[in-house]
Amino acid sequence: MVKPSFVHRLTKVLVDVMYYGGMLCCAALPFVMPYFARFFAYRRETVLPLTLILLASGISALYILRQLKAIFKTLVGGDPFVSENVTCLRKCAVASMAIALLFLGKLTFWFTVASAIIVIIFALLGLFSLTLKDVFKQAIAYKEENDWTV
């Protein structure tokens, strides 16, 4: 078992801060969006769709962070190669692709370069999560085979 390092603890704290901060942002979004709409001079008909897209993507991001918290529990526990982490990584991939699709939909009625970049980043994150899921699955198979031979 590897003793948790400073980087492990720092990453766990950052994930926790992002998770709880994201909860606050998602809860506050419907209330602050009218102020942002006036400040940035959004057209009235774009405020509701934009709010829904931001809220749905925020909830998906919170879901990803929750899965990362579950993975960190097994990492700190000393046994990261368990089937629960494979499931968590698959769920992260689905949520990442959902965010990419949400912003791809946003691009159809309101194009911004930032939205295009978000689509690319979250599509890549989804693919990366699927690849990492397969790596973990293979590592679990090797670990179980090694456990049986000893």
In a domain, 94, yes or no: yes
pLDDT > 70: what percent of the chain?
A: 96
Range of the domain at 109: 6-149
In a domain, 70, yes or no: yes
pLDDT of residue 117: 98
In a domain, 1, yes or no: no
- Does residue 150 carry a pLDDT above 70? no
Over residues 89-147, the pLDDT tens digits come to: 999 999 999 999 999 999 988 899 999 999 999 999 999 999 999 999 999 999 888 87
pLDDT of residue 5: 78
Quote the mean pLDDT of the chain: 92
Over residues 40-55, the pLDDT tens digits come to: 888 888 889 999 999 9
**Pairwise CA distance, residues 111 & 108, whole Å:** 7
DSSP string, 17-66: HHHHHHHHHHHHHHHHHHHHHHHTT--HHHHHHHHHHHHHHHHHHHHHHH
In a domain, 39, yes or no: yes
In a domain, 12, yes or no: yes
Count how many domains the chain has.
1
- Does residue 72 carry a pLDDT above 70? yes
